[in-house]
């Protein structure tokens, strides 16, 4: 199967929303309760259009003739997404109230690895690895020497295998009064 990585564009947002919902509900079910997942989808997870505007969000596509159709997509199918950021926000989509869009100081700050999701039908095929490599290389090219993320519990083993080190547990407050445990992870670029 041939996958292609490209920068996301604004017209990708509708299929990305479908992909993120599917990914969270299927792949995070062992680590989070249904209430946590649904609240996180409404308040934390989602597309961060600032990443698209900055040119730092990527999608993985597969030619539709090589793949079964997913809801809401025509042309090449978007089967994964992920990005990096030169801004202070560590996690959260457009509707997240804890955003900090100020630019990082690449001399002192770590680039943020952000918003990785793979459609459950395409998990464990190297898509996340390809996206992560593209993001790490782009952040390094931009001059960052360190990387940082807020990893979901589901993602921690993947990122650990890619050389990231857990630095502290975090609790993200959700609108339903619960919290979403994640882990701050870091890596030298």
- 31 versus 63: the higher-pLDDT residue is 31
d(CA 71, CA 20): 12
Q: What mean pLDDT is reported for the chain?
A: 94
d(CA 25, CA 183): 19
- pLDDT digits 0-9 by tens, 18-28: 999 999 999 99
Nearest-10 crossing angle of helices 34-43, 13-27? 160
- pLDDT digits 0-9 by tens, 136-155: 999 999 999 999 999 999 99
Residue 1, pLDDT above cutoff 90: no
Domains in the chain, CATH or no CATH each: 3-144 (3.40.630.30)
């Amino acid at each position: 199967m041939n996958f292609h990585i490209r920068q996301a564009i604004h017209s990708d947002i509708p299929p990305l929303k479908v992909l993120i919902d599917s990914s969270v509900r299927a792949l995070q079910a062992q680590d989070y309760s249904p209430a946590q997942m649904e609240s996180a989808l409404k308040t934390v997870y989602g597309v961060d259009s600032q990443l698209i505007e900055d040119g730092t969000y990527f999608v993985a596509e597969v030619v539709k003739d090589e793949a079964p159709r997913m809801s809401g997509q025509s042309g090449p199918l978007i089967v994964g997404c992920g990005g990096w950021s030169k801004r202070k926000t560590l996690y959260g989509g457009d509707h997240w109230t804890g955003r900090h869009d100020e630019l990082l100081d690449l001399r002192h700050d770590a680039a943020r690895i952000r918003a990785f999701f793979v459609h459950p039908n395409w998990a464990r095929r190297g898509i996340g690895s390809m996206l992560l490599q593209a993001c790490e290389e782009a952040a390094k090219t931009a001059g960052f020497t360190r990387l940082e993320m807020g990893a979901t519990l589901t993602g921690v083993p993947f990122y650990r295998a890619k050389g990231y080190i857990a630095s502290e547990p975090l609790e993200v407050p959700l609108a339903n009064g619960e919290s979403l445990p994640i882990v701050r992870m870091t890596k030298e670029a």
